Amino acid sequence: MTTAEARLDNHPYGALERRWHRMSALSDAAGVLGWDMSTVMPTGGAEARTEQLAALDVICHQQINDPALADLLDAAEAEAATLDPWQTANLREMRREWRRETALQADLVEALSRACKRCEMAWREARPAADFAGILTPFENLLALVRESAEALGNALGLDPYDALLDGFAPGTTAVQIDNVFQPLAAFLPDFIEQVLARQAAAPQAIPLEGPFPVDRQEALSRSLMGVLGFDFAHGRLDVSAHPFTGGVPDDVRITTRYDEADFMSAMMATLHETGHALYERGLPANWRLQPVGESGGMALHESQSLIVEMQACRSAAFVGFVAPLLREAFGADGPAWQADNLLRLVTKVERGFIRVDADEVTYPAHIILRSHLERAMIAGDLAPADLPGAWNDGLEGLLGIRPENDRLGCLQDIHWYDGAFGYFPTYTLGAMIAAQLFAAAREAHPEIPEAIGRGDFAPLLTWLGDKIHGQGSLQEPDALLIRATGKPLDPAIFQAHLKRRYLD
């Protein structure tokens, strides 16, 4: 009998595994359909796909709400002493999913699913046209349903509504904890940004790279760098979408990017970022596919894995030295602008910009702090959707001293809210902090990591991450996993030290 077969015997826990296997497979199918909707589906298929995804969401919801499943959870927990550590953790995560799903009525789940997809498709037309008015009605409808679900979740979990949403992306995290981390960062950033800008103004200026940069060459470069990082194209693919993202399932990881013929760096860095997500997905424990314990430890950890690749490793002097000749070859270019020292100035250039996904790591947290404040206000009912553009523009001006000239550069730039993902944004900066702490611990354990990256060898870093993070799945709670990997809980000072070292030393 195999290990998997031994787990799937007739006791209550085994019955739960069988049920979760089916539910997870259905959920994964919905994920692939969602990827297709965002990449290759013709626009005329939107309403049909909306109905398909709503039906799958309701089926999964009905299965987890089956009274028999609640009885099985109770029975399995009564026999918990017979379970091994992975089974125990799996049962914990099953109960967590059950508590969240049973908090919502089926009609709300169905309505929310439809509203998310309809608003997302409206956003795809509104964003390039900078037409917030065109998306206002579907967004108002969606926000009302998100607030209703947040209330229901909060009542069931004993949490504030916004905390209940946060918990879905960063388990166990509350707004108070976010404030404790973000407030010192918000106090640190203004003077630090000024210092960095002054230092860069006094240094030799970065020479711009002159395009155009054909999309086919950018795609070839992206695929080449994905290969350097170890992306397995037999278990994944690269496509184009309006907003870069990672989807699919661990054995079929779908990542997307977007190309600009005037700026290849944007697509290159987006691809590296999403490849970090993909490597985490592929590295999750294969023996626990389609079980909660085999999933990632939440989006803060997930974002740490994309940012440890993009920010910690691939904006380092070591990586830029490695990639410089590849860039010259890819675009048939040469000269001072294409030398490693100038490229490093370009990839570490700090400037106040409007677009979050293109922001440098110094100003990036300001973008997240703004979004965190605004989404909390919307969930609390203190900010109406119609007032979002003005609040956004005022907030960005207050944080970075710049004001968007249109909503494409402002509140329409990200997909998250228009797909119902409230509570997601804080995980980006939490992820940046975790990434800095993990990279510091990895370098302490393996001092050869920077030199290896300089050769295009990511094996030492990824092997360490595979052991400490990827292969652990959800065996431990996220906070405990970070302590196991680094020896301490999240320490925001490590992130600030990283910024000072890179930009002021």
Backbone angles phi, psi at 167, to 5 degrees: -60, -25
Structure tokens at 493: 């000072």
CA distance 91 to 51: 32
Residue 126: partners with Cβ closer than 8 Å, 6 or more residues away? 132, 134, 135, 412
3-state class (DSSP) for residue 246: strand
Question: Letter for the amino acid at 29?
Answer: A
Residue 416: partners with Cβ closer than 8 Å, 6 or more residues away? 422, 424, 425
Quick one: which H or E segment has residue 302?
Answer: helix 299-307
Rg of the chain, C-alpha, whole Å: 23
**Does residue 151 carry a catalytic annotation?**
no
Q: What stretches of 446-505 show up as alpha helix (H) in DSSP?
A: 449-454, 459-468, 478-486, 492-503
Residues across the chain: 505
Q: How far, CA to CA in Å, does 484 sit from each of 322, 463, 475, 480? A: 32, 16, 11, 6
Give the number of other Cβ atoms within 10 Å of residue 202's Cβ. Answer: 8
Out of 101, 274, 281, 295, pick the active-site residue: 274
- Which residues participate in catalysis according to the annotation? 274
